[in-house]
Structure formats: structure tokens, C-alpha cells
Amino acid sequence: MQVPLSNQVDVAGFHSEATRLLARQVPPDIVQWSAAPAQTVAEEALDPGRASIHNRAARAIIPQSFIRMSELVVLNRDPRRFDLLYRSLWRLVYEPALKHDAEDHDLSRLRQMAQAVRRDIQKMKTRLAFRSLDLHGEKVPVGWYEPSHFVAETVGAWLARRDPSVRWILLTPDRSIRWDGSRLLCAPAVAPPHGPRSDAEWARVLDAMPWR
């Protein structure tokens, strides 16, 4: 059974689909999850609450501790993360004693993946640097970073909260993110795989951004 998700970090979609599959008693060994890279060309506003569980049935079925961990795990680059999450969730539902097993391989692996994401978020917060570039006659801080996992949007939200008055652009190999002073906007990546190397290349990259 193919279960598509809207993007690589679609945690809300995963929770919704997982709840539906559990209700139908669909075992994990016949489910194949897929998450395609974002394809939209235009910028889109990021929903700060998109990781929240709005479905009442999902909140009743999925343990809160698992929800919190899954919000980190979906940011991991491991292509098997959704399979592992659903298998672990299935087992937590049908094997209640599992939550007390500190040495279970699946749950241990999920904790390791979540911790790797936490480390990557902290590393990006510490190492991310911006340079002032001219954009449409205005100086704008622009940063480039190559995270190990899909953490750019999480760090972008943190930057926006930290100092809402400063507008900036953040480029990564996965996404292009912009804070316009009131909204956090996201678009597909426009930068080269390893970042712009010259002022001319920076200018071409910024021209490729789908500004509104």
C-alpha cells in the first residue's frame, strides 16, 4: 500500500495517515511511505502549527511522547524514517508493554534519530552566519548553510522569533527561506548544491528567488 506525503517533513500528514491506517488495522509490513521534495515554484507561508495534531482520534491513539519524538524524527534524512515511525507506533498500540522496554531496537533507533536532529538544530543555530547583500537597492542579510538534516525551517522559525524586526534570507540545498518581518516564507532551493561561491553567483541566486 503506497502512502504519499506532501513533502519531506510532513509530520501532520504522517500522523493523519498513520491514524487512518491504524483504524483500518493495516500492518506496517504492507505499507510503503513516500515523501517527495517540495515542487512548488512560488513562495508559501510556513504554518507554525502544522506539526500539531488537530485530529481528535489521532490525539487519542498516538502517545504524546511519541508525537513529540516524531516531530523531530521526520526531520532526519534517513529515508526509512516514516516506515520506522509507523512500525513503532503499530507496536506501541498492539504491544502496550513496549513503552517500558528501554532496549527495544526500533525505539532506540528513533531516539538516536531524534537526538541527531536536535544536535543538527543546535549546530546550525551556532554556526549560521549572514552577509549583507544588495537586493533591489536594499541591504539584506543573506545566509547559506548546509544542514545534515531537514532542520532549516525549524531554525528559520527560531530566527524569526528571536528578532522579528530583522528581515533576512536563508538558503540551503533543500529550501530557500525568507523572513519579511511578519511572515516566514519558504520556496524550493535556488542555490547551487554547495552554496554560492562569488558575488556574481550570489546575485544570480537571489534573482532566482520567487519574490512576490
Q: Is the pLDDT of residue 49 over 70?
A: no
| pLDDT for the residue 51 | 45
pLDDT digits (tens, 9 = 90+) for 116-138: 999 999 999 999 999 988 877 78
pLDDT digits (tens, 9 = 90+) for 166-182: 999 999 998 889 999 99
Q: Is the pLDDT of residue 46 over 70?
A: no
Cα dihedral sign, 63-161-5-31: negative
Q: How far apart are CA 201 and CA 54, in angstroms?
A: 43
